[in-house]
Amino acid sequence: MSGAVPTTTLSAFYLAYFAYVGAYSPYFGLYLQSIGHDAAAIGLLLSAQQVMRIVAPNLWAAIADRTGRRAHWIRLALAGGLVCMGGLFLTSAFWPLFVFLALIGFFTNAALPLFETLTFAHLKDDLGRYGRIRLWGSIGFVLAVMGVGALLDLLSIEALLWISMLPLAGALLVSLAVPDAIVNRQAQAALPIWPVLRQPAVMALFGACFLNCMAHGPLYNFYSIHLTDHGYGKTAVGVLWSIGVVAEILLFLVMPRLLKRWHASQIFAASFAFGTLRFVLIGWGADQVWLMVLAQLMHAATFGAYHAAALGMVNTWFPDSMRSRGQALYMSLSFGAGGMIGGIGSGFLWQSVGPGWTLTGSSLVCLLGLVLALRSGSAPAREQT
């Protein structure tokens, strides 16, 4: 579709989808803890969705690239995720929960990379404009994480399940109004992805992305538990999560200016330097509120700048004819494989050596990621041209 960019509907989708993420992700570990699961079990249960981040995006992206109907598959994925979330009301046992969480991950983890691809198709790869649309996702996350934190101080933690379903249903409704963008289906079917993927700079890029998400595994799985163990209430937990995302919003607003001054690969590498410091502060400084605030402000770099720069680099390497597959690889290798290993490993480490040393491990992983990030800066010929 070749009209004006549907900025309002794109922004509304990000708002609703990340409101679902903000309602669900920060507090679901607390829900699992409340129904009797220990840290190792929580890490394994949450890994079910990370496993699906490896499988689902590539499968759905291949279908979307061949049919050219990205919006259609986004709607189907969201509807499937909403239905499967209903299964969480039926059981508290480990294996049935694992199956339901895997199914939720199979559907919901497919929707976002497809939508990111659709957004860039509408924007014609304008990374600066992307940041101003994507910031509405951060706003949705902030509103949800603060609102749900306050609600859970008043309501039972079991209320989290139905609260989380509401914004996911909203994302499905908004997706009905998002138009598709015209793509060249014949070219998509013809171009293989391996010649791009095997280039050293691309391998370094995806390796660094894998390590970044591996480092974030303990944070996403146990940050809320870590704070409540140090005496923070759920409202305070929500505020600290929100500080990080407000910093991310501000980053998206200034991203066009940053990209005029620095190359995306430089911003990408800097995010790993900030991550190396951030995880040490969280691991050993939880008793100091100001250190937690400082660490959360660094979320602007470790996720906001990292994600925007990584998307820009992926979209530079992978042309529109293989864009969905490039985004799917980014999602599956980083948030999928990296998040899965970081999440599972953090569950066992949290129980055996404690949060401080677990998060110190995250810091060291970020340092290794910095080495690879510095090797990922070579641009393909079309960007240099």
Segment 148-173, tens digit of pLDDT: 988 998 898 999 999 999 999 999 99
Write the pLDDT tens digit of every residue in 42-89.
Answer: 989 988 887 887 888 778 877 776 776 788 899 999 999 999 999 999
Lowest mean pLDDT among 141-145, 183-187, 199-203, 324-328: 183-187
Percentage with pLDDT > 70 across the chain: 92
Residue 130's closest CA among 248, 16, 246, 11?
11
Output the six-digit token pair for 222.
Answer: 């146990």
* Cβ atoms of 207 and 372 closer than 8 Å: yes
Whether residue 382 is predicted with pLDDT greater than 70 in this model: the reply is: no
Q: pTM for the complete prediction?
A: 0.74
Q: What is the CA radius of gyration of the chain?
A: 19
pLDDT value, residue 140: 93
- CATH architecture, range 7-384: Up-down Bundle (1.20)
- pLDDT category of residue 174 using cuts at 50, 70 and 90: very high
- pLDDT category of residue 117 using cuts at 50, 70 and 90: confident
Residue 114's closest CA among 195, 180, 210?
180
pLDDT value, residue 378: 54
pLDDT value, residue 327: 76
Write the pLDDT tens digit of every residue in 244-278.
Answer: 988 988 888 888 888 888 988 999 999 999 999 99
Q: What is the chain's mean pLDDT, rounded?
A: 87
CB atoms within 10 A of CB 360: 17
Whether residue 144 is predicted with pLDDT greater than 60 in this model: the reply is: yes
Write the pLDDT tens digit of every residue in 308-364.
Answer: 899 888 888 887 667 777 877 888 888 878 988 998 888 889 989 999 999 999 999
Residue 108's closest CA among 85, 69, 81?
81
* Cβ atoms of 308 and 127 closer than 8 Å: yes
In which residue are the tokens 């090797």 written?
A: 375
Whether residue 184 is predicted with pLDDT greater than 60 in this model: the reply is: no
| 8-state DSSP, 376 | -
